[in-house]
């Protein structure tokens, strides 16, 4: 069987200068990382970001399943298809984190005939952006402990330090740690924790900052904890923000690569959508929109996660709402949500069970899970196109049932998409549908309609998302979370946007509640203030900000031969 890696290695890559030329970016606007990867220079960016902007297409999905729905494949394939039908198009996607790469996913550069290249470099270290975020974050951590050791001039309360440490790997043993063991020479002993780098506030700042000045300002606004009087202590107070900005100077510049078919693609930023806001950078969107007529981007996990956060966190900062939403779905995902494999998903089905025709389960899943995703996105004021990522085992009866249900739920169009096996050619129907939808939306002038006003109180925003997106019956805020929110309100942060951290597998906080659960009570266990990023994180249920590895990590199937060539990597 031909693997994604085989396909990637068999491709003939174009020089990155030729790729940039397709966006009218000159050679002196690039800082090369070898022949096939480049960062845009700051002068190149500042010269272009304020030019007229193209149209933005947001690719999202139903709640993900263990089978994989192919959202990144659809994003890249749609970009290739748009270019094949004569449009000027590019895509903006997030950088892979090595946590999922070595954990479950094994890579995040698309697949089949819809990949971004060079795939191996993109999945392993790339241009070092995530390492820069890790270093900048941990520099602040080390300066906090150094400040404590050398007199604690800012009178930090060691029991109220909220700034963790981070690493770009899955390691559950670091969720709760003690630092400073070994006596006074090693600093004071205190409890701490590690998050994964994708959940770092520094990552959120990197992807939401509009320019260098905004990046520097936001870093200074980071609140690391409270002093003994209960007042906030910021990174600026510790003298750390300037050095952090220096570490991020190069990482802030978007990365340019190419698709398998030689189309330009930007990759920048890597926040997860279940524990962060799950979207690529504002600066990459801005430069892409200034260079292409249509820009395709993706929001992480299901529309209840990354897409909702795009609407309420990223769009207000970037100043650009989507002109069209593509809802990615598969027959097999609807079988799961329709109860084909048990009311709570049950065990992982065999290949035979997964591919067995079950029209009733497809209909049940589409009438519940897909229906809610479509209606939620339509509520924001833009057209929704359903893209059915077709698998060879899908039957005509199943596909027809899924298509009929999607149209009944309000989809502007429904397309069968075969970009994994056929590349841009397999996405032509979707590309044509997207162009029509974008033109109709712009012509109609329908306004973008978020769920609430930006100045609404934090708790009202939590309840609005819980009841109108998740369909919860009520919200239960723990005593700890209530005290935290009261403190943030006292500090003047009571009207920030909210980033909901919850499981991606369900509309609820319970991963086993499939379909479209409603009437449940949504528990808010904790609030975390990301003052520099400009939002408050609501931790729902037992959601962890440091993932663990599965029973058999993808790392166990990876190796290197005697010539340094990768083996078994990403399929």
Residue 347 has pLDDT above 80, yes or no: no
The 10s digit of each residue's pLDDT in 247-282 is 999 999 999 999 999 999 999 999 999 999 999 999
- pLDDT at position 569: 66
Kindly report the length of the chain.
571
- pLDDT at position 565: 82
124, 570 contact by CB (below 8 A)? no
Tokens 């790469």, residue located: 101
Residue 24 and residue 36: Cα distance in Å, rounded?
17
Nearest to 162 by CA among 136, 201, 215, 203: 201
Kindly provide the b/e burial profile for residues 347-376, where b requires at least 16 CB atoms within 10 angstroms of the residue's own CB: eebeeeebbeebbebbbbbbbbbbbbbbeb
Mean pLDDT (the chain) is 95
- pLDDT at position 106: 66
Helical axes 458-468 vs 479-490, angle rounded to 10° = 130
- pLDDT at position 176: 96
Domain ranges of the chain: 4-127+251-441, 129-248, 458-540
Candidates 3.40.50.300, 3.90.1150.10, 1.25.40.340, 3.10.410.10; correct CATH number of 458-540?
A: 3.10.410.10
Nearest to 325 by CA among 110, 506, 55, 83: 55
Q: Which CATH class is domain 129-248?
A: alpha beta
The 10s digit of each residue's pLDDT in 424-474 is 999 999 999 999 999 999 998 889 999 999 999 999 999 999 999 999 999
The 10s digit of each residue's pLDDT in 54-66 is 999 999 999 999 8
Q: Are strands 255-259 and 114-117 parallel, antiparallel or unpaired?
A: antiparallel
The DSSP bridge partners found for residue 559 are 567
First to last CA, the chain: 10
The 10s digit of each residue's pLDDT in 515-526 is 999 999 999 999
CA dihedral of residues 133, 138, 144, 150 (deg, nearest 10): -130
The 10s digit of each residue's pLDDT in 136-157 is 999 999 999 999 999 999 999 9
The 10s digit of each residue's pLDDT in 13-28 is 999 999 999 999 999 9
Q: Are strands 413-417 and 384-389 parallel, antiparallel or unpaired?
A: parallel
Residue 312 and residue 322: Cα distance in Å, rounded?
12
Record: fold of 4-127+251-441: Rossmann fold (3.40.50)
- pLDDT at position 570: 63
């Amino acid at each position: 069987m031909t693997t994604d890696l085989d396909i990637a290695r068999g491709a003939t890559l174009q020089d990155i200068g030729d790729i940039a030329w397709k966006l009218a970016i000159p050679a002196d606007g690039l800082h090369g990382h070898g022949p096939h990867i480049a960062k845009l220079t700051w002068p190149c960016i500042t010269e272009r970001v304020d030019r007229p902007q193209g149209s933005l297409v947001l690719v999202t999905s139903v709640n993900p399943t263990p089978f994989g729905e192919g959202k990144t494949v659809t994003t890249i394939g749609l970009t290739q298809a748009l270019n094949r039908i004569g449009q000027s198009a590019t895509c903006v996607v997030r950088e892979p984190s090595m946590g999922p790469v070595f954990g479950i996913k094994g890579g995040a550069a698309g697949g089949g005939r819809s990949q971004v290249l060079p795939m191996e470099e993109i999945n392993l270290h790339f241009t070092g952006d995530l390492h820069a975020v890790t270093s900048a974050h941990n520099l602040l951590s080390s300066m906090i402990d150094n400040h404590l050791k050398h007199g604690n001039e800012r009178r930090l309360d060691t029991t109220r330090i909220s700034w963790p440490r981070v690493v770009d790997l899955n390691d559950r043993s670091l969720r709760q740690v003690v630092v400073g063991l070994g006596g006074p020479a090693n600093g004071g002993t205190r409890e701490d924790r590690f998050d994964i780098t994708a959940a770092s506030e520094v990552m959120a700042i990197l992807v939401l900052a509009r320019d260098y000045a905004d990046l520097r300002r936001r870093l200074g606004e980071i609140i690391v904890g409270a002093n003994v009087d209960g007042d906030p202590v910021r990174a600026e107070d510790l003298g750390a923000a300037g050095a952090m900005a220096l570490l991020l100077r190069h990482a802030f510049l978007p990365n340019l690569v190419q698709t398998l078919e030689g189309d330009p693609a930007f990759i920048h930023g890597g926040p997860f959508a279940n524990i962060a806001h799950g979207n690529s950078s504002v600066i990459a969107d801005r430069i892409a929109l200034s260079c292409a007529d249509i820009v395709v981007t993706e929001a992480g996990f299901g529309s209840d996660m990354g897409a909702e956060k795009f609407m309420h966190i990223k769009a207000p900062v970037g100043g650009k709402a989507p002109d069209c939403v593509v809802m990615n779905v598969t027959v097999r995902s609807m079988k799961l949500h329709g109860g084909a494999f048990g009311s709570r998903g049950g065990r992982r089905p065999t290949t035979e069970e997964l591919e067995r025709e079950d029209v009733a389960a497809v209909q049940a899943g589409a009438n519940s899970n897909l229906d809610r995703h479509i209606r939620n996105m339509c509520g924001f004021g833009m057209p929704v196109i359903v893209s059915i990522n077709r698998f060879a085992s899908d039957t005509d009866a199943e596909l027809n049932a899924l298509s009929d249900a999607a149209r009944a739920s309000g989809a502007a169009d429904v397309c069968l998409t075969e970009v994994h096996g056929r590349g841009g050619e397999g996405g032509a129907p979707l590309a044509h549908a997207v162009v029509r939808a974008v033109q109709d939306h712009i012509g109609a002038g329908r306004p973008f309609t978020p769920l609430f006003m930006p100045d609404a109180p934090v708790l009202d925003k939590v309840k609005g998302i819980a009841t109108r997106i998740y369909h919860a019956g009520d919200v239960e805020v723990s005593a700890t979370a209530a005290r935290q929110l009261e403190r943030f309100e006292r500090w003047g942060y009571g009207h920030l946007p909210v980033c909901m951290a919850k499981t991606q597998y369900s509309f609820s906080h319970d991963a086993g509640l499939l379909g479209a659960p409603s009437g449940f009570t949504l528990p808010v266990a904790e609030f975390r203030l990301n003052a520099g990023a400009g939002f408050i994180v609501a931790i729902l249920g037992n959601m962890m900000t440091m993932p663990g590895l599965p029973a058999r990590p993808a790392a166990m199937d990876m190796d290197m031969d005697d010539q340094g060539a990768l083996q078994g990597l990403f399929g």
